[in-house]
Amino acid sequence: MIHNPLSVNLCNIELKNPVITASGTFACGFEYGKLYDISKLGAISVKGITREKREGNPSPRIAETYGGILNSVGLQNPGVEIFAKNLLPYLETQKIPVIANIAGDTEQDYCYLAERLSNTSVAMIELNISCPNVKEGGMAFGVKPDSVYKITKAVRKYCKKPLMVKLSPNVADIAENAIAAEKGGANAISLINTIKGMAVNAETRRPILKNITGGLSGPAIKPIALRMVWEASRAVKIPIVGMGGIMTATDAVEFMLCGATAVQVGTANLTNPLNASMIIDELRRYVDKNKLKSISDIRGQLITE
């Protein structure tokens, strides 16, 4: 077998490379699949799945900011049954690990979704307890360590696949939340979700987003994301998937140096749909240039003295 220096092992799932497309920025990959061979990706984290179909928040729900975007999409998706019957089969043909990102209004919703999706071909479940754009649930479960622990422990019982908990950056201490997820039985942690923010139109004196507030993503949040990945990686033993403003392979390497096993690319898919593909190509050049046997050799290798 030919040695692949870009491959990484995430919770016993072999990824071709550490690049995963982030939930909500790649749908289920179909549109991107028309532009490039998406089977080259490490994995795909699909748009947040809820029990029932959701229309999302009213428009406008995207606002551009310096170095990023604010979104208040609000978990628009067709519901778990349509996902399993109509969307997942396409991803199965691509032979790529699928990470099912799930969200709910109640603990029971999360447990139900984890059990339902455990009976499908998805490789992993990502628990989104960090969405700032829905009133009922999402971030409400993800801000206090106690509730992170409680929901992770509850879902763990129903989840037959590796469970990754996606943490919110809208917290006082990210390390405490990472520890809570690990204690609750998470197999991995992903971070960060978007940072709650808002945009205002000075002429109309109105908020730009109909929802008033939204989640900030893109390069503007990268320093915060790096700091949080660094702090979380020192607090837990389980693998960390880092994200927040990754636009280039250099950004991805920085996250791995801070302790990430793999990375997710989000907003970059919206600025250029080929970005995730280009980051993989660039990473290959980085590995060659630095004569690395494995990209994993750089994990946690940040020099701080």
Q: Which residues of this protein are in contact with ligand FMN, per CB under 6 A?
A: 22-25, 47-48, 69, 71, 73, 75, 101, 128, 131, 166, 193-194, 217-218, 221, 243-246, 265-268
When the beta carbons of 94 and 193 are compared against ligand FMN, the nearer one is 193
Q: Nearest distance from residue 305's CB to ligand FMN, in Å?
A: 30
Cα-to-chain-centroid distance, residue 154: 21
Q: Nearest distance from residue 149's CB to ligand FMN, in Å?
A: 19
Residue 258 annotated among the catalytic residues of the structure: no
* SS3 per residue for the chain: CCCCCCCEEECCEEECCCEEECCCCCCCCHHHHCCCCHHHCCEEECCCECCCCECCCCCCCEEEECCEEEECCCCCECCHHHHHHHHHHHHHHCCCCEEEEECCCCHHHHHHHHHHHHCCCCCEEEEECCCCCCCCCCHHHHCCHHHHHHHHHHHHHHCCCCEEEECCCCCCCHHHHHHHHHHHCCCEEEECCCEEEECEECCCCEECCCCCEEEEECHHHHHHHHHHHHHHHHHCCCCEEEECCCCCHHHHHHHHHCCCCEEEECCHHHHCCCHHHHHHHHHHHHHHHCCCCCHHHHCCCCCCC
Q: Nearest distance from residue 269's CB to ligand FMN, in Å?
A: 8
When the beta carbons of 94 and 264 are compared against ligand FMN, the nearer one is 264
- φ, ψ (nearest 5 deg) of residue 10: -120, 110
When the beta carbons of 161 and 166 are compared against ligand FMN, the nearer one is 166
When the beta carbons of 128 and 277 are compared against ligand FMN, the nearer one is 128
When the beta carbons of 89 and 223 are compared against ligand FMN, the nearer one is 223
When the beta carbons of 128 and 261 are compared against ligand FMN, the nearer one is 128
Q: Nearest distance from residue 182's CB to ligand FMN, in Å?
A: 19
Catalytic residue among 11, 28, 111, 131: 131
Q: Nearest distance from residue 215's CB to ligand FMN, in Å?
A: 6
Query: Please, which residues bridge with residue 201 across strands?
Result: 206
Q: Using CA atoms, how far apart are residues 43 and 304, in angstroms rounded to an integer?
A: 31
Region at 233 (left for phi over 0; alpha for psi -120 to 50; beta for the rest): alpha
Q: Nearest distance from residue 13's CB to ligand FMN, in Å?
A: 18
Task: Provide the annotated active-site residues.
Answer: 131
